[in-house]
Amino acid sequence: MSQKSKMNIPMLAACILLCLTLISVHMTSGLYARYVSRDSGEDSARVASFDVEAKWGDNDVSISATQEDNGSYNFTITNNSEVDVKYDLVLTFEEAFPKYLKVSIKEENAELAVDGTVDEENGKVVSFANLGMLDSNGDSANYELTFTVIDIDALVDSASGEDSGAISVDLQFNAVVRLEQID
């Protein structure tokens, strides 16, 4: 007598699914040998600090033109920022800058002084554009701003009271040091 075995289809499907599941687990669990490469990165941002300073010495300077022909102001610019800076200097006088006077600026240890540029329109503004640059993190520069009498006769003529035996002229000015971050 022959006996014909019957195939249990649901059981067969379950077995196939189980096999596929095992294969998937195997592939994803690392049991399957392969080369693996991983990399990671981290980006962060912080705003750079801007900490600059300009310090001046004495406010009042006197020139006795009989004895010497010039007088100077000293000031220091310091850059404690995390960025480089450039700067310029602008002097604004209450009256037109007199023709008997010259103003120049010289960085400490520099060989040459730079003359200021008088604004031609109103004559009251003297500027030193692009005066210098400072690196970040503590760079500093010392300057000497010097006024020089270049024509004493014009100075005498400009003042009244010549007969009094002495003349004196006061010049009031405002100086602005402008510092700007360099890209």
**Residues of the shown chain interacting with another protein in the complex, contacts defined by CB under 8 A:** 50, 52-54, 56, 59-67, 71, 73, 75, 81, 83, 85, 101, 147, 149, 152-153, 155-156, 159, 162-181, 183
Whether 182 and 103 have beta carbons less than 8 Å apart is answered as no
Min dist CB 59 to another protein, Å, is 5
* Pairing, β 101-107 against β 114-115: antiparallel
Tokens representing 16 are 């196939």
Residue 166 phi/psi, 5-degree rounding, is: -155, 150
Min dist CB 39 to another protein, Å, is 29
Instruction: Using the structure block, give the residue that is written with the tokens 């100077």.
Output: 72
> Which of helix, strand or coil describes residue 11?
helix
Min dist CB 45 to another protein, Å, is 12
Q: Toward another protein, which CB reaches closer, 141 or 149? A: 149
Min dist CB 76 to another protein, Å, is 11
Q: Which residues pair with 91 in a beta bridge?
A: 126, 175
Q: Toward another protein, which CB reaches closer, 130 or 174? A: 174
Q: Toward another protein, which CB reaches closer, 61 or 133? A: 61
